[in-house]
Amino acid sequence: MRSYEKIEQYDTETTELLAQNYKKIIGDLGEDVTREGLEKTPERVAKAMQYLTHGYELDPLKILKSALFSEDHKQMIVVKDIEVYSMCEHHMLPFFGKAHVAYIPNGKIVGLSKIPRIVDAFARRMQVQERLTDQIKNCIQEALNPLGVAVVIEAQHMCMQMRGIQKQNSVTTTSSFTGAFEKDKTRKEFISLVSNKLS
């Protein structure tokens, strides 16, 4: 029987540099970095941070353009409840929630899996929710030139829940619209679709 082997790929030089820094930070906080529970923590955190910010290595526009198809569909396409995990750039604490994305095609559609992929590509960076919302919208608008794009993100921020104001039940909602979604009727249809459970 073969033993379990975990395979991870991280940049060795970056991992070592980050681990040295985290080791110092943990020590500066008053902990004993040589004790068993913390001995490998600097390296683990170094790898975790590289994963949590791997969006810098991705090109969201290229991701979308890799799966464009000609299609004469003029109705709203909605991908909702996309899980979002990101890092607040102000305190380096997580914020997480759901993104709802819609567009109205103008001769081109994109493979549905690409929408969550670009959400992830932008989210896995140091972010603020407002910028993240706009980046997703702008990327879809540039790649597809649709009749309109709508993005809404609902997220909880650990910087508000674990520290500072410490409001555990607060949710932040941001939205960004282009084209047809700037019209009240279309925007209301989108909000209705992402708010309701379809049977």
Let me know: does 90 contact 112? Beta carbons within 8 Å.
no
Which of 89, 130, 142, 182 is the catalytic position? 89
Q: Which of 100, 129, 135, 139 is catalytic?
A: 129
189 is an active site residue: no
Query: Residue 78 corresponds to which tokens in the numbers above?
Result: 């909605």
Angle between helices 12-28 and 41-52 (to 10 degrees): 120
Distance, in Å, from the CA atom of 127 to the CA atom of 36, rounded to the nearest integer, reads: 34
Nearest to 74 by CA among 106, 45, 46: 106
Catalytic annotation present for 157: yes
88 has binding-site annotation: yes
Residue 88: active-site member: yes
Residue 129 known to be catalytic: yes
The β-bridge partners of 96 are: 85, 156
Indicate the SS3 state at residue 190: helix
| Catalytic option among 16, 54, 91, 156 | 91
Beta bridge partners of 100: 152
Q: Which of 16, 54, 141, 159 is catalytic?
A: 159
CA 81 – CA 126 distance, rounded (Å): 22
CA atoms of 63 and 69, how far apart (whole Å): 13
Catalytic residue among 39, 90, 130, 142: 90
130 part of the active site: no
100 annotated to a ligand binding site: no
159 annotated binding-site participant: yes
- 100 as an active site residue: the answer is no
Residue 90 a catalytic site member:
yes
Distances (CA, A) of 188 to 115, 181, 185: 21, 9, 5
The rounded distance, in Å, linking the Cα atoms of 41 and 23 is: 8
Binding residue ranges: 88, 91, 159
Q: Which residues are annotated as a binding site for Zn(2+)?
A: 88, 91, 159
Residues recognised as catalytic: 88-91, 129, 157, 159
